[in-house]
Each structure stands twice: as structure tokens, then as C-alpha cells.
Structure 1
């Protein structure tokens, strides 16, 4: 047994891993196993497992993760398992382990997806130059969560996975309380957005599976045109809540209303269809009303701004961290645009 790249070797106990794979009737248990680290933007540990002509992916929490975060990896596995048999594009999960001697953290093994992700701040060919083809990426992005919203989460065994009752009633206070734990500066527009959210809760709330961080960076596409969503990935923040928040999250900086959000965009939005086109597609596929979409976009900006502000606060307290230097401007922009949309929506 060996790794594909000596520079990427870690503390993976490949012999123990091979025995575990064999116990679960997965390829690699006969000694023909290679393990290599997958580099990327994920904060979790990802490894490619190769055995003969089969490729699998092992996903685990970071080596330094707390027991709570490590436990979320098994929670994520439960969610992905529940999607089996659905029409939601995802990597099929095979088995999970709590044996920390193999990798240092609990993990699970899933299918390898042959595709690409925009998480590296760029579009793959031909979408880098073909704007007509690029438009299909946006439609497919929305199509993925529209399908996810149709999954019968109770029938899929996800009863108790989240707290759907009162979901919107607790959003504002929950995130403001979270912010109070590290707040170190004023965020113009925060109070405006918070007050608007309190008084404009959705009229039609139907619980469903919520990915929790739905964006271009957390999906994979099949190679080549036309655009086809191959898999939704990174389910760590998933819960049972309001699926429409995933739509609002995806549309945080969408044209035309978000065209001035230069800090929050990590991709070139040229060629992407306007928001109204995507809302129509989502409504058709999901069967859900999108009349309250402004609420979800405002909530998404409000929540993401508060989450990112924690990193800004830590960097400020420690003298600066170049990895989060750009978050400062993103937070200010997100909160400003949340308030701006709230004010404009109130006038309609």
C-alpha cells in the first residue's frame, strides 16, 4: 500500500483502513489501496482512495476538530444517506466509522464524483468563455436545491434531525446573540435588517432539508457543455428548516440587484441569467412559492455577514490574519446590502 504523492502523506493508518474497507465490502480491502490527500478549499480532510479501477472519497473533520465538530461529520453522513434513491445530485455514501485510530477523527466514505467545482474562483472550459453555456450553470445550481426541497425528510428517516418548529421566530435573536460573543465594531445597517426580518416573516413556511451553505463553491458540475449538476457537496451545515433560505443564499449577490456587490462575488457573473428567471425555475421544479424571496436574501446576507464577522474579530484581536483579510469588506457589504434591500422592499 502506498500514497499517490509522498508529499501529501498524513497519519492515515492505511492497513487499518484497508481492514475497515474489507469489513464493509468496499474496494481496497485486499491490499490494493492507495490513499492521497485531496487539496482544495474545504476545511475538512478529504482523501481519494484508489483500489484497482475504483475511486472513492473519504471525508473527515479536521485533525484538530473538537468532539462536537467531529460529531457533525457523522450527522452529515446521516443526511447524505437519507438522500439515497432521491433525484438530488449527490455522492452516494457507503459507510462511516468512529475509529479514530485510522485518521484521528470519525469519517465516512462516499463515491468519487468525476466533475469540477467553481470553488477555485474560476469557471472551467467552455464556461470560462461561452456565456450562453455559463447561463446553464446558474439554472442547474437552482435546480439542485429545488429538487432537494421536494424530498420527504420524514420518510427519509430525518425526524429529529433539526428543529423546524419556530425556525423563523428564532433566527434574528439567535444570530445577534452569536454576534454578541465577539462583536468589536458597529456594522451599519445591522439594526435595520434585524428589525425588518422580525416583522416580515414568511407567510408560507413548509419545513424541508436545508443545505445551509448553498453556493457555487459547494456544488460540482459534470465536465463539458451543456451544464449539468453532478453533485451537491459539503453538507456539514444541513438541517431541517426552510429550504427557501438555500435559494436566498445562492442569490446573495445575484444580478441585477446585487450587481454592486463586488466584495461578495468570487466569480465572474457575466452571462448569468437575472434573478427572476431563476425564481421561475425554482418555483416550477419545487412547487414552492417564491413571493417572499426578498426575506430570504436579506436573512442570508444578515446571517453570512455575522458568521464571517467572527473571523474578522479574531484577526483583529490577534493582530491580523491574511487569510481573512478580505472578509472585512465582505461583512460590511453584506450587512449594508441586507439593510438596503430591506428599505427598498418596505417601500413596495
Structure 2
């Protein structure tokens, strides 16, 4: 793939001044590094308690597929990732007010301008499964909704189970297509129990989950027990827990600070104790916002983004760790 990319770049340089140049520069709908685009907040709609949707408008916006997300650069300089959740001909995101970044989104007004990057897709919908079971928790409906529409419009077998605190807190209830939709608010059904839901997946089904970590954590263990032929695909809202971690030190070269990273703590969390303003977004190892140059030490890479060449010099501090001994970072 790297050789093909290099050949493509050389081809475009050779023909840069030719009549076919516009064809050669046509954007690819999804790529690893994404696009930087300026958009306008065209429409803001309250969707549920503490949830608003924003319809974004811009010039020549790239196509996207179910599961795709945008990186949004907020007025404060913060960067956050939000799933695209409207019709695939539009750019719409929905945000629940739960933190500093989301509060900034809720303070935006129609006509405001934003910079975005994307779309990128770390949660793609497989299209060859015999059936689909979708499980959404709260604002986790945002990447699931386009998937349900995709399957419904193509006549693919699907079922949706949608959890939430209450119906008033669950966005897009009115937009769900007619079909096997199971709405389960906590105030009507009690605490969600995946042990009752996952057996609904037919043999060989693709199971898609998106929601808070406590809801999704037991999913893989349960599905292995009740339906070992099914595949599980998940996107979480929040960082994964650290598994198999050991404590180590990081040295911040520019400030001279030394920080202890706990066995169950991410490098990013440790850095933020000393540098609260350090940039980050997804906290799951796929957006690249927290990429840092490594000046010393051996890194255990746990990301899903960096190439082998990049890993020789850099790391994503949200998920990667030290193999042994201290790390020296260019911070």
C-alpha cells in the first residue's frame, strides 16, 4: 500500500499541469489521515434531554459510510470526535452535554463556522453478514442509526435493541425505521442485561454495540458462550481499561518533569496531571490527536493508526505504554 501511494503521488506530480489534473485530485471518500474542511452550522435541533444535533454544510463534502466519524475542532482549540448520524447525503452529528467539549458544542449557534477533519471510519459496517443485531446505549445510537437505515433500505435482516435512562433522554426515537426495534428505557425495564439481549442474534450474525463501557464490557464473553458463530463489533464512548499494565516512568524532555504512570493508568492520564492542556480526542488509539515524539525508551504500541515507520519515532499516549523502563517524550 505504501508503494502504491508513492506511485500515485509520482503520477499526480507528472500530470499536475495536464488537462486530467482535476481527475487526479478528486477526493477519496475515506482515508487514514482525513480531510481538513471548513463548515457552517446550518441547523441545530434539540433531540432529547441534553442532546442536540448539528447539521453541517460545506463545499464538496466527501462521501461517508455508516460508522464514520468527524474530528471537530472547537473554538477553544479542543478536538473531539463525533459520529455521523444523519442521512448519508448530509453531515449531521449529535452531542450529549457531558463534558467541556460537549458544552462548547451546545453553546454554538446556527451560522457559526467550524473546522472539521474527516470523515474516517474505525467502526465500519460489514456487508456480508447473514443477519445483524444492533445494540445502542443512549447517545450510542448515533453510529448505529445509519447502519440500521442501511440494512432496512437494502432488505437485510436486522434487529435493534436501544437502551437509555428514559424515553425523554433517548435521541432519534422518531427516526427509527419500522421493523424489529426494541426500546428499553431503564425506568421501564430496569438495568440493561446483555445476557437477555445477545441470544437474540441469529447464528453467524454481526453484532454491533455502541454505548457506555459498563454496558459493553461483558458483551464478548457473553456472545462466545451463547453464540460462538457471531462476530462482535463495538465502539465505546470512553477510554478502554488498561490490561496487563505495569508501572513505569515518563520523562518530559522540554520541562524536565518525571511522572509515574500507574499499572492501571494510561500515559495520557499521567501526562495530564502535569500538562492539563495536552491535546487528545478519541482516547482509543485511532484518531492520532495525542501523537508524541519518543526520544528514548521502548514503546509497546497498542494503537490502530501508526505505520511501522511512524512507530520507530512516535507513539499515541492514550493507549500505548512502555515495554520496560522509562520513556522520554518530546513534551
Q: TM-score, normalised by structure 1?
A: 0.23
Return the structure number with greater strand share. Answer: 2
Return the structure number with greater helix share. Answer: 1
The higher-RCO structure (CA 8 Å, 6+ apart) is 1
Q: TM-score, normalised by structure 2?
A: 0.24
